[in-house]
């Protein structure tokens, strides 16, 4: 119980610090959103528009920083993040509601798949270290993992969408499908998600594979594994119940972190496949000094990461009695 209380206090303090940094950092960047708008349009926008933009954005009156901070905390507590400046005059909540489902769907599912495949392969390749198949699998995934993602995604999109035309080039679903929730629409969404998801899964799997394999190898050399073998337990039982169960703990922490970061989106995937999501919106909001939007997204990322960690910590206590008792 003491452990849980300690975790909760830690959670709250970290959240407050992160919130405050989230408020201060963007305001230390020079310039203002109106000037960012002029730069964004490379001269297309009449500079005279700056006056009008400042009034529209509400930045013509300088507000006291403390007042802004109070305002900010109030907004966070009420969940009303105000109006976005880079997508003026859409409310921040609406922009996020467009983007978050796509990010969760694409990046969340791909992360889970990549983790599952990577971990399974890690177990297998560690168990059968000497086999030729693991000799082939490891270098391939290592190569895919260390390839620049942007380049890889462009290549995939060029080959399979542009040249071979097997998959759509852009978008999240086809436009020619009636609105609403129906089978054709779901099929179209899945079809459009295949390429972006594949690029994420292919490049991310290698990381999980390597971590899992390394853990597994060190666990396999432990005495209790040798004992289990001596006892004559079936290989499958030793492989999964004895070795893998213990070896997965460090990977599990990493997985919790990765799930937390899912909400920050996959900027490069979104750019290459023009897929909707949070990554690009976050990028735009930072470029355009869109404080309300930026703060809301950072807040969500922060909450997601902290929560994922919190849950991982609790799970850890369940999985590993040493954590619970504080014993070495």
Partner 1 sequence: MKKLALLVLVFSLIFVILGLGEPIKYGGTLRFIGGGGWAQFPDSMNPLLPEGGFSPVVAEIYEVLFYVNPLNGNITDLLGTSYEWKNNNLELDINTREGVKWSDGTPFTARDVAFTFNYIKKYPALDQLAVWSSTSGLESVEANGDNIVVFKFSKPNTPLFYYLSNIPIIPEHIWSTIKNPVTFKNENPVGTGPFLFKSSSPQNNVILAVKNPDYWRKGRPYVDKLEIRAVKSNTTSLLMLLRHDADWGDCTPADPKKLWVDKDPELNKMWWPVNNANILYLNTQKTPFDIPEFRKAVALAIDKESLVEKAYHGSCGGVAHPTGIIPSQQNEWLDPLLKDVNLRYSPQKAQELLTSIGFKKNSRGELMDSDGKVLPTYKILVGAGWTDYITMAQIISKNLENLGIKTVIDQEAGSTYMSSIMSGTYDMAICWWAGEGPSPYYYYYQGFYPPFSGSKIGETSLSDYARYTNPIITAALETFSKTSDIHLQKQAIYAIERIIVEDTPLVFLTNRTHFGCFSEAYLVGWPSDSNPYCAAEVIDSPGGAMITVNVHLK
Residue number, 123 or 289, with CB nearest to partner 1: 289
Q: Are 296 and 100 a contacting pair, CB within 8 Å?
A: no
What number of chain residues touch partner 1 (CB under 8 A)? 57
Both structure tokens of 326 = 């504080």
Contact flag: residue 253 with partner 1 (CB under 8 A): no
Q: Tell me which of 19, 22, 23, 37 binds partner 1, using CB under 8 A.
A: 37
Name which of residues 159 to 188 contact partner 1 (CB under 8 A).
161-162, 165, 169-173, 175
Q: Tell me which of 238, 270, 294, 313 binds partner 1, using CB under 8 A.
A: 270
Paired with 91 in beta bridges are 83
Q: Tell me which of 6, 27, 51, 128 binds partner 1, using CB under 8 A.
A: 51
- Taking CB under 8 A as the binding criterion, the range among 85-93, 116-124, 198-206, 302-310 that sits at the site for partner 1 is 85-93
Residue number, 45 or 306, with CB nearest to partner 1: 45
Cβ neighbours for 76, distance < 8 A, ≥ 6 positions apart: 19, 299
Both structure tokens of 269 = 């995937």
Q: Write down how long the chain is.
A: 328
Contact flag: residue 93 with partner 1 (CB under 8 A): no
Q: How many CB atoms lie within 10 A of CB 235?
A: 10
Long-range Cβ contacts of 74-77 (<8 Å, 24+ apart): 76/19, 76/299
Residue 299: closest CA among 265, 267, 264: 264
Q: What share of the chain is helix, strand, coil (3-state, %, to 5)?
A: 75, 0, 25
CA terminus-to-terminus distance, the chain: 19
Contact flag: residue 104 with partner 1 (CB under 8 A): no
Q: Tell me which of 127, 141, 242, 280 binds partner 1, using CB under 8 A.
A: 280
Q: At what angle do helices 109-127 and 245-261 cross, to 10 degrees?
A: 160
In whole angstroms, give the CA distance from residue 303 to residue 15. 7
Residue 251: closest CA among 315, 306, 328: 315
CB of 61 to partner 1, least distance (A): 13
Place of tokens 């054709």: 184
CB of 201 to partner 1, least distance (A): 21
Q: Are 145 and 208 a contacting pair, CB within 8 Å?
A: no
CB of 207 to partner 1, least distance (A): 25
- Taking CB under 8 A as the binding criterion, the range among 114-122, 224-232, 252-260, 277-285 that sits at the site for partner 1 is 277-285
Both structure tokens of 82 = 């105000």
Residue number, 106 or 137, with CB nearest to partner 1: 106
Q: Tell me which of 55, 186, 190, 226 binds partner 1, using CB under 8 A.
A: 55
Q: x/- contact string, 191-230, with partner 1 (CB under 8 A)?
A: ----------------------------------------
Contact flag: residue 148 with partner 1 (CB under 8 A): no
Rule CB under 8 A: which residues touch partner 1? 29-33, 35-53, 55-56, 83, 87-90, 98, 102, 154, 157-158, 161-162, 165, 169-173, 175, 270-274, 276, 280-281, 284, 287-289
């Amino acid at each position: 119980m003491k452990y849980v209380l300690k975790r909760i206090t830690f959670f709250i303090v970290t959240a407050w610090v992160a919130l405050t940094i989230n408020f201060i950092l963007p305001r230390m960047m020079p310039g203002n959103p109106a000037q960012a708008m002029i730069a964004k349009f490379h001269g297309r926008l009449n500079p005279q528009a700056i006056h009008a933009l400042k009034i529209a954005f509400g930045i013509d009156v300088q507000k006291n920083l403390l007042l802004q901070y109070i305002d900010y905390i109030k907004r966070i507590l009420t969940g009303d993040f105000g109006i976005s400046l880079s997508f003026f005059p859409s409310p921040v909540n609406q922009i996020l509601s467009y983007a978050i489902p796509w990010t969760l769907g694409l990046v969340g599912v791909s992360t889970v798949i990549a983790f599952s495949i990577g971990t399974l392969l890690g177990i297998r390749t560690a168990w059968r270290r000497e086999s030729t198949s693991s000799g082939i699998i490891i270098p391939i995934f290592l190569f895919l993992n260390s390839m620049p993602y942007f380049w890889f995604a462009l290549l995939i999109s060029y080959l399979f969408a542009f040249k071979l035309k097997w998959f759509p080039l852009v978008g999240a679903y086809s436009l020619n499908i009636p609105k609403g929730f129906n089978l054709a629409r779901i099929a179209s969404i899945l079809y459009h998600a295949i390429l972006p998801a594949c690029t994420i899964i292919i490049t991310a799997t290698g990381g999980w594979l390597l971590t899992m394999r390394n853990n597994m190898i060190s666990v396999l050399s432990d005495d209790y594994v040798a004992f289990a073998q001596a006892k004559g337990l079936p290989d499958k039982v030793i492989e999964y119940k004895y070795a893998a169960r213990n070896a997965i703990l460090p990977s599990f922490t990493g997985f919790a972190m990765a799930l937390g970061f899912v909400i920050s989106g996959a900027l490069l995937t979104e750019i290459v496949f023009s897929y909707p999501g949070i990554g690009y919106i976050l990028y735009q909001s930072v470029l355009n000094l869109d404080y309300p939007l930026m703060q809301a997204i950072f807040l969500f990322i922060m909450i997601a990461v902290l929560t994922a960690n919190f849950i991982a910590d609790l799970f850890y206590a369940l999985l590993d009695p040493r954590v619970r008792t504080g014993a070495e």
